[in-house]
Amino acid sequence: MKVKVMKETGACPLHGRPREDGFTLVEVLVAMALGLLILLALVTLFSRNSANQQDLEQTIRQLESVRFSMDTLSEDVMHAGYFSDFNPETMLVAPAYQTPDPCAVGLAALGWDTAASPVQMPVPIQGIAAGTAVACLGNRRPGTEALVIRRAETTAASPMASGRADNLYIQVARCSLDAQRLRVAAVPAANPEATFNLRRPDCTTVNDALRRLMQRTYFIASCNDCNANDGIPTLKRVEMINGALRTTAIAEGIENLQVEYGLDTDNDGQPNVFATLGSGLINGVAPNVWQNVVAVRLHLLTRNIQATPGYSDMRTYQIGPDVSVVTPSDGFKRTLLTTTVRLNNVGGRRE
Q: What digits encode the pLDDT tens for the residues 38-61?
A: 888 877 776 666 666 666 777 788
What string of H, E and C letters represents the secondary structure of 288-351?
Answer: ECHHHEEEEEEEEEEECCCCCCCCCCCCEEEECCCEEEECCCCCCCEEEEEEEEECHHHHHCCC
Q: Is the pLDDT of residue 17 over 60?
A: no
Mean pLDDT of the chain: 90
Predicted local confidence at residue 51, as pLDDT: 60
Q: Residue type for 119, please?
A: V
Report whether pLDDT(315) > 80. Answer: yes
Which helix (H) or strand (E) segment is 73 a member of? helix 25-79
The predicted-structure confidence for 71-96, as pLDDT tens digits, reads as follows 999 999 999 999 999 999 989 899 99
- Rg, C-alpha atoms of the chain: 35
CB 303 within 8 A of CB 287: no
Closest CA to 251 of 304, 214, 308: 304
pLDDT of 199-228, one tens digit each? 999 999 999 999 999 999 999 999 999 999
Residue 173 and residue 179: Cα distance in Å, rounded? 9
How far is residue 227's CA from residue 181's CA, in Å, rounded to a whole number?
47
CB atoms < 10 A from the CB of 4, how many? 4
CA distance 315 to 209: 53
pLDDT recorded at residue 4:
52
With beta carbons less than 8 A apart as the criterion, state whether 174 and 207 touch. yes
Task: Provide the whole-model pTM.
Answer: 0.85
> Residue 314: pLDDT band by 50, 70, 90 thresholds?
confident
Domain ranges of the chain: 63-348
- pLDDT for the residue 106: 85
Residue 16 banded pLDDT, cuts 50, 70, 90: low
3-state secondary structure of 46: helix
